[in-house]
Structure 1
Amino acid sequence: MFHLQDDLDLLLESPSSLTVNSTVRGTIKEKPGFNPSEDAAALRKAIEGIGTTEKTLIDILTQRSNAQRQLICKAYQDATGRTLCDALEGDTNGHFEDILVALITPPAKFDCQEFIQAIKGAGTTESILIELFASRSNHQIKAMCDAYLAETGRALIHDLKSEVSGDFEKTLLILAEGKRDESTNVDMAKAKEDAKVLYEAGEKTWGTDESKFIDILCHRSVPQLRQTLVEYKSLSGKTLQESIEREVSGRLEEILVAIVKCVKSVSSYLAERLYKNMKGAGTTESTLTRIIVSRSEVDLQDIKAEYKKLFGTSLYSDIEVRKTFARKLLVLVNFTKNCQVTH
C-alpha cells in the first residue's frame, strides 16, 4: 500500500479543508449577473418540451454555485407549483438523474442523504461512513447532523450507534460529535508527548492499546496532529500510518488510517478513493457522484492535482473513458470550463 505525502515536513504549513472554509479551490464558481427566474424558465422549457434538453440542464446546473441553485429551485417552484427535484426525477433517469438531484441538494442535506443510504438496508456501508466522518470539518459534520434531525426527527448519533459496534463505533461517534480541537497553535511538547504515547501504545509493546490511538487522532487539531506525525516518524522510524497498519486490523484500522490521511491531505485521500473506485472490480457510480459533486466547490482542483501526482494520469482522462454517465459527470463539474486539464 502506498502512503500519501510521506514528506511530512511539507505538511506543516499546507492548508487543510478540515480547518479552512474556502471555495477558492473548487471548480464551480458563482455566476456573475445571475438571474434565478430566467434560469428557472429555461429549465422549465428544457424539461417540459418535447424530449428533455440535457444540454440546458447541464449548462445551467453546473455553472451556478449551490447557493444559486437553491434560488433557482425556489423560483422554479414559485412559477410551476412543483419542485425542481420532482421535475428532474420525473423527466430524467439513472445516474444522470442522481447527479442532477445531487447538484440541487444543499451540501449538508446531501451528506445527510449519503449517510442514510450508508446505514439503510441489511448491511451498513462502512466505507461511506468512514469517508464522510474522516473527510468533513466540524462545521460540515454539525450541519449534516442538523440536516439528519430535520429529515428524520432523530439524532444522527443515536441511529449511528445501532449500526456499528466496538472501537469502530467509538471512533465514529467521537468524530460525529464534530468537536475536534480547532486551535491553530501547535504545542511542540504535547506533540512529542502524544507521539511517545502512540509509540508505547503500539509498536513498543506486545499488544495494542487502541483507545490511545482513538483519543489522540479524534480530538487533536489538524496542525497539532501534523506535528505529532512528524515527531512519531522521528521517534519510531516509521510513519504512524505504517504502525497503525501493523498494529490494528479491520474497520478500526480503516478509519484510523483514513483519519491520518485526511489530517495530511483530504484531497489526496479523496483522489485515492476515486482511483480505487474506478480501478477496482466494479465502479460504484454513487461514489464518483458523491465525491465530485460534494467537493466541486471545496477542493476539486486539488483533488485533480493530487490524482495526477499520485497515479500519473489525469482524473479527467480516467473518467472520460468510462460510459456515458461518467462522461456527463465531467461536464457537471466544469472540468473544461474553469480549469486547465491535461488530457
Structure 2
Amino acid sequence: MASLWDDLENLADSPSSFTAKPGERGTIRPKAGFDAAEDVDALKDAIEGLGTKENILIDVLTQRSNAQRQLICEAYQEATGRTLLEDLKGDTDGNLQDLLVALITPPAAYDCHEVMKAMDGIGTDNSALIEIFASRSTQQIQALREVYLKETETQVTLRMREELSGQLSEALLLLAEGQRDESTTVDTEKAKEDAMALYEAGENKWGTDESKFIQILCQRSIPQLRQTFVEYKNISGKTLQQSIEGEMSGDLEELLVAIVKCVKNVPAYLAERLYHSMKGGGTDEATLNRIMVSRSEIDLLDIRAEFKKLYEYSLLSAIESDLSGDHGDCVKAICGGDD
C-alpha cells in the first residue's frame, strides 16, 4: 500500500492531472447526435407520469457531458416553465437526489456548493475541504471562488477565516487564494534549498516548524514540488510524506499529506478516498458522490486504473458490493466499465 507513495522514480516526468485537458481521461463524454429537446421529452415523461422512472433519469443524465446537461436544463425550463432542479428535488430523494442534482450543476458551482456544505452548520467537514483544495488546479479554485462570490456576495476566504483556525486555516487559505505558482520550469537549486529547509524544519530539529511546510507545499508549482520531493529523499533518506506523518498529527497532517499525494498522483489520492468511503460498515455517500461526479469528465479512467492497482479489484466491483438500488445504478453508470 505505502509503496505507491514511496516510489519517486520518474516522478518529475510523469503526467499530472492538474494539467489534464477535460474530456481526455473521463468516463463521461459528450453524446454524439445530442438532441436536447428529445432528452427533455424523455425526462418529462419520467417525472410527470405516475411514479418516477428513475432509470430514465439516470440513463439521460449520466450519458451526457455537463455542457450538454446545461442545455437540457435550459430546454426543460422553456418546455415546462419549471426548472429541472425543482422537479428532481420534488421527485427523487436521498442519495440519488444528491447525485442527480450534482450532475446538472456546472462543475465550478458544484465545487463551490460542496465547500459551502462543508462549512454549514456546527463544525466544519475538514476532510471535504482538504480533498477539494488539495486536488483542484489553480484554475478550478479560481472558478470556484468566482461562483462563491456571485452566489453569496462575499469571498470564500472570508467565510473560511470565520470557520477555520490555526495552521489548518493558514494552509487552506493559501490554497483557496490560488497562491500556487503556475510556472512549468523547474529550478533544481531552489528544489535543493527547499528540501533542505523542510529537513531543517522537521526531521532535523526538536519540534516542527509547520509554517515552513505550509509555505512551500501550498505555494510552489507542481513540477517544482516534484523535484523537491526527490531532493528531500536524497537529503533525509525518507520521503517527505513519511516525515510529515512522523512529525505532525490531526487535520494539518491530513492536509499536507493530501497535498504531497496530489502533487505525485491525483487519481491515486482520489482512488484512496473512494476506497475509504466504502470500506467497513456504512458508506460515506457524500465523498463518493463528490469524487465520482467531479472527476467524471477529468480523470475517472485514471482513478479506476489506480484503484485496481492499489486494491487488486475494480472500482466498479467495489461499488457493486457496497451500493444498491437507484443510487447504486447511477454511481455505476458514472463509473462506466469494469477494469
Deviation at 1:58, TM superposition (A): 1.3
Cα distance in 2 for residues equivalent to 1:3 and 1:210: 25
Aligned residue-pair number: 338
Q: Give 1:151-162 correspondences, 5 Å limit.
A: 151-162=151-162
Percent identity over the alignment? 61
Cα distance in 2 for residues equivalent to 1:162 and 1:248: 24
1:74 corresponds to 2:60:
no
Most deviating of 6-15 and 310-319: 6-15
2:264 corresponds to: 264
Deviation at 1:153, TM superposition (A): 1.5
Cα distance in 2 for residues equivalent to 1:281 and 1:85: 32
2:21 corresponds to: 21
Deviations 1:79-135 (A, max 9, x none): 111000111111111111111111000011111111111111111110001001000
1:333 corresponds to: 334
Cα distance in 2 for residues equivalent to 1:249 and 1:133: 19
Q: Give 1:243-282 correspondences, 5 Å limit.
A: 243-282=243-282
User: Are the aligned partners of 1:133 and 1:141 in contact in 2 as well (CA < 8 Å)?
Assistant: yes
Deviation at 1:325, TM superposition (A): 4.8
Cα distance in 1 for residues equivalent to 2:162 and 2:328: 38
Cα distance in 2 for residues equivalent to 1:318 and 1:191: 39
Indicate the RMSD between aligned Cα atoms, in angstroms: 1.3
Cα distance in 2 for residues equivalent to 1:328 and 1:227: 42
Cα distance in 2 for residues equivalent to 1:332 and 1:87: 21
Cα distance in 2 for residues equivalent to 1:121 and 1:161: 15
Q: Give 1:181-220 correspondences, 5 Å limit.
A: 181-220=181-220
Cα distance in 2 for residues equivalent to 1:198 and 1:229: 10
Deviations 1:212-259 (A, max 9, x none): 101110111101100110111111000000001111221111100110
User: Are the aligned partners of 1:145 and 1:155 in contact in 2 as well (CA < 8 Å)?
Assistant: yes
Cα distance in 2 for residues equivalent to 1:39 and 1:325: 19
Please tell me the residue identity of whatever aligns with 2:116.
I
Deviations 1:126-179 (A, max 9, x none): 000100100011011111111111121211000000111111100000000113
Residue 12 of structure 1 aligns to a residue whose secondary structure is: helix
2:52 corresponds to: 52
User: Are the aligned partners of 1:19 and 1:182 in contact in 2 as well (CA < 8 Å)?
Assistant: no
Q: Give 1:104-123 correspondences, 5 Å limit.
A: 104-123=104-123
User: Are the aligned partners of 1:62 and 1:333 in contact in 2 as well (CA < 8 Å)?
Assistant: yes
Residue 105 of structure 1 aligns to a residue whose secondary structure is: coil
2:239 corresponds to: 239
Cα distance in 1 for residues equivalent to 2:335 and 2:237: 43
Cα distance in 2 for residues equivalent to 1:60 and 1:299: 21
Q: Give 1:131-170 correspondences, 5 Å limit.
A: 131-170=131-170
Residue 2 of structure 2 aligns to a residue whose secondary structure is: coil
1:304 corresponds to: 304
Deviation at 1:35, TM superposition (A): 1.2
Most deviating of 275-284 and 293-302: 275-284
Deviation at 1:326, TM superposition (A): 4.8
Residue 21 of structure 1 aligns to a residue whose secondary structure is: coil
User: Are the aligned partners of 2:292 and 2:335 in contact in 1 as well (CA < 8 Å)?
Assistant: no
1:128 corresponds to 2:128:
yes
User: Are the aligned partners of 2:73 and 2:83 in contact in 1 as well (CA < 8 Å)?
Assistant: yes
Cα distance in 1 for residues equivalent to 2:146 and 2:265: 26
Deviation at 1:183, TM superposition (A): 1.1
Deviations 1:52-76 (A, max 9, x none): 2222211111111000000000000
